[in-house]
């Protein structure tokens, strides 16, 4: 498992990044730090492979922590997730070898792309002693993305056609009204955990669009049905 530290001063944003990370296989969260001072004990004493790092924080900045990591020659990779978009900050981050740079606000798909790409590089570099030009090119050069709306021919393991039909029917009844996992669970009388798996799949294939709302407590995911992409399901129902 790839061990990750999230360094973000905003608790809400830190929670969203944590939830996003939990959606992607192959990663485990070592800790959440809300300042550079909070992060230093993790950096100096824990085994960490990747830091998801904000720039603007009270006291020392994320760039200060990045500098510390490089000065101490730590074998730690960094992805910046920040509202800092000025060229100087970007150039500094790139010179210090960040593997990606996400500017807030960003969609889950961009986060997933960054994390998944990092996972591929990590596994390649840790599972073999030598690489060839093809390996390097795959790591450093952009890959062609699959076209949006490409047909899906099979369901992920654990999902069934009959249950998917029930879930999709409930979603279609919602029309353009945003809904939560709980809403569909109540309408279908299927467990919230199971509904969550189906909504995650439908979001990944672009049939649903997810937004994050903030209220009291943890952020809540709301979904909107993208009827225009309904044809993606033709091979599954």
d(CA 91, CA 126): 28
The tokens for 131 are 């690489």
The tokens for 27 are 């990663």
What is the pLDDT at residue 221?
Answer: 83
What is the pLDDT at residue 116?
Answer: 87
How far does Cα 158 stand from its chain's mean position? 22
**Residue 87 CB neighbours (<10 A):** 7
- Mean local confidence (pLDDT), 93-104: 87
**Residue 139 CB neighbours (<10 A):** 14
- Mean local confidence (pLDDT), 77-83: 90
Helix, coil or strand: residue 109: helix
Model confidence at 145, pLDDT cuts 50, 70, 90, reads very low
CA angle, 140 then 100 then 63, to 5°: 135
Q: What is the pTM of this model?
A: 0.59
Work out the widest C-alpha separation in the chain, in whole angstroms.
Answer: 57
Helix, coil or strand: residue 165: helix
More confident position, 35 or 129: 35
Model confidence at 155, pLDDT cuts 50, 70, 90, reads confident
Burial class, 211, CB count within 10 angstroms (exposed 0-12 / middle 13-18 / buried 19+): exposed
More confident position, 107 or 227: 227
Chain mean pLDDT for the chain: 85
What is the pLDDT at residue 140?
Answer: 57
What is the pLDDT at residue 225?
Answer: 94
- Mean local confidence (pLDDT), 74-81: 93
d(CA 44, CA 51): 13
Locate the DSSP E strands across the chain.
2-7, 27-33, 50-53, 77-82, 100-103, 208-213, 220-225
- Looking at the predicted structure, is the pLDDT value of residue 131 above 70? no
Percent of the chain with pLDDT over 90: 49
What are the tens digits of pLDDT across the range 5-39?
Answer: 999 999 988 999 999 999 888 899 999 999 999 99
What are the tens digits of pLDDT across the range 172-200?
Answer: 999 999 999 999 999 999 999 999 999 98
- Looking at the predicted structure, is the pLDDT value of residue 142 above 60? no
The tokens for 217 are 């407590």
Give the chain's domains with CATH numbers: 2-140 (3.40.50.2300), 161-235 (1.10.10.10)
């Amino acid at each position: 498992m790839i061990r990750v530290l999230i360094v973000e001063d905003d608790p809400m944003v830190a929670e969203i990044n944590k939830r996003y990370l939990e959606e992607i296989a192959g990663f485990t969260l070592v800790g959440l730090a809300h300042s550079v001072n909070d992060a230093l004990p993790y950096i100096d004493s824990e085994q960490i492979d990747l830091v998801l790092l904000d720039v603007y924080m009270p006291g020392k900045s994320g760039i200060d922590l990045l500098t510390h990591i490089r000065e101490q020659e730590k074998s730690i990779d960094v992805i910046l997730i920040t509202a800092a978009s000025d060229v100087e900050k970007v150039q500094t981050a790139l010179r210090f070898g960040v593997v990606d740079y996400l500017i807030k606000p960003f969609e889950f798909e961009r986060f997933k792309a960054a994390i998944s790409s990092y996972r591929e590089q990590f596994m390649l570099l840790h599972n073999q002693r030598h690489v060839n030009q093809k390996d390097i090119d795959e790591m450093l050069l952009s890959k062609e993305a699959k076209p949006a709306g490409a047909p899906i021919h099979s369901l992920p393991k654990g999902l069934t056609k009959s249950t998917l039909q029930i879930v999709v029917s409930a979603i279609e009844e919602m029309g353009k009204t945003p809904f939560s996992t709980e809403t569909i669970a109540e309408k279908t009388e299927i467990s919230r955990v199971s509904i969550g798996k189906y909504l995650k799949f439908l979001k990944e294939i672009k049939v649903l669009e997810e937004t994050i709302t903030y209220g009291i407590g943890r952020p809540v995911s709301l979904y909107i049905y993208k009827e225009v992409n309904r044809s993606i399901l033709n091979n599954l129902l």
